[in-house]
Amino acid sequence: MFVYKTQIRLHHTDAAGILFFANQFVLVHDAYEKLLQKIGFAFETMLQKRSYFLPIIYTESHYKTPLFVGDKITIHIKVAFIGTTSFTFEYQIKNQRGQLTGTARTVHVTVNKKTRKKITLPRDFRAALEKLGD
């Protein structure tokens, strides 16, 4: 499991100072980017040197309790599924008191950059995902 820590900022919230619903995905994606960086697949490397992309093809999110400007949060990411061409991450968002405030799920598919067709997960990427799942 990977843990990412951050804080709710003003630009994450709506006029009431509560996390704007779409920004839960922004926070989750920030955590996802950090996870990829940690396992050796940073976006800048992926975009410039790899022959594939990892687009999100499905996502869902659940909001349990509100988050406010200044709240410190942790996002816990676990590998929920590794398939032939796709993988799934599950996210738990917790506030500074450890209370579950939201969950999310993203499904990614591996796509060849040139053909835009699905491809088998590259071995090194699969191995990194499997190691996360341990």
User: What is the pTM assigned to this prediction?
Assistant: 0.94
What distance in Å separates the CA atoms of residue 91 and residue 40, rounded to the nearest whole number? Answer: 20
Residue of 62, 59, 50 whose CA lies nearest to 100: 62
> Which CATH class, in words, describes the domain spanning 2-133?
alpha beta
- pLDDT score recorded for residue 60: 97
Radius of gyration of the chain (CA): 16
What distance in Å separates the CA atoms of residue 134 and residue 131, rounded to the nearest whole number? Answer: 5
What distance in Å separates the CA atoms of residue 74 and residue 68, rounded to the nearest whole number? Answer: 14
Q: What would the pLDDT profile of 58-89 be if each residue is shown by its tens digit?
A: 999 999 999 999 999 999 999 999 999 999 99
- pLDDT score recorded for residue 46: 87
Per-domain residue ranges for the chain?
2-133
Q: What would the pLDDT profile of 90-130 be if each residue is shown by its tens digit?
A: 999 999 999 999 999 999 999 999 999 999 999 999 999 99
Q: What would the pLDDT profile of 10-64 be if each residue is shown by its tens digit?
A: 999 999 999 999 999 999 999 999 999 999 999 998 889 999 999 999 999 999 9
